[in-house]
Structure 1
């Protein structure tokens, strides 16, 4: 049995080594309501700017804007994408977001479940959904 455990550990280790740390990123975008959240999320995924967008409701944002401290209910989009797509994702959000100054921040993913990280890469690299329909 110890031999089998060693083989499994080596296989898992090899899979983990195939991921290049930082090649995937998480991006975060705040939005004012569910309609905006769903519209942005669907557009982002259809354009293959991300593999997945989680919509997290029920956050409260406290921030300074135009020399005043503001407090607003918002939702948070947690977006999983390839790091190479973050600039394009940011441009898409700016073009389709109702805020004058939309939040788009990202953090590179150092490690994670190798099959999930592979799925992100594979999904983002596909032809956008709308282009497939026209072909």
Structure 2
């Protein structure tokens, strides 16, 4: 029994210490690492796909976004001017540099039909390094 515990302890030690280092080293050899928080995803709701396409094309053309996905048919329930509302909308999922989120927000606000439009962003903590690099290649720094 003592031999089994010792063997199990050695295997556990090996997996805890050496295996993560091998995986990290292997990952670094095959792909370029990317800084966390350097890129963000922003979400914007729009009244319909046509408005989404107009804003999306403008963001990509102006190098404020690398990609804009339009997710149709979302239902939004919210309070506005003391009334509960329910609307069918589309959702834009926008990939950009974190350093460009303020300019992106300004662009959306000036091209959006709502009195108060949603623009929220979250930093991308992890992702496919070649994809994140592609975002950086398509959205220049400030």
Question: TM above 0.5, one fold?
Answer: yes
Distance 2:32 2:38 in 1: 13
1:25 alignment partner in structure 2? 40
Matched, 1:58 2:73: yes
Q: Would you say the 8 A contact 1:53–1:79 is kept in 2?
A: yes
Report the TM-score when normalising by structure 1. 0.83
Match of residue 131 from structure 1: none
Q: Does residue 107 of the first structure (1) align with residue 122 of the second (2)? A: yes
Partner of 1:98: 113
Indicate the SS of the match to 1:120.
helix
Query: Which structure 1 residue ranges, 5 or more long, are not aligned?
Result: 1-5, 127-135
* Higher-Rg member (1/2): 2
Name structure 2 gaps, 5 residues minimum. 1-20
Question: SS at the partner of 2:50?
Answer: helix
Correspondence 1:119 to 2:134: yes
RMSD after superposition: 2.1
Decide whether the 8 Å contact of 2:32 with 2:130 is kept in 1.
no
**Would the aligned equivalents of 1:15 and 1:114 in 2 still touch at CA under 8 Å?**
no
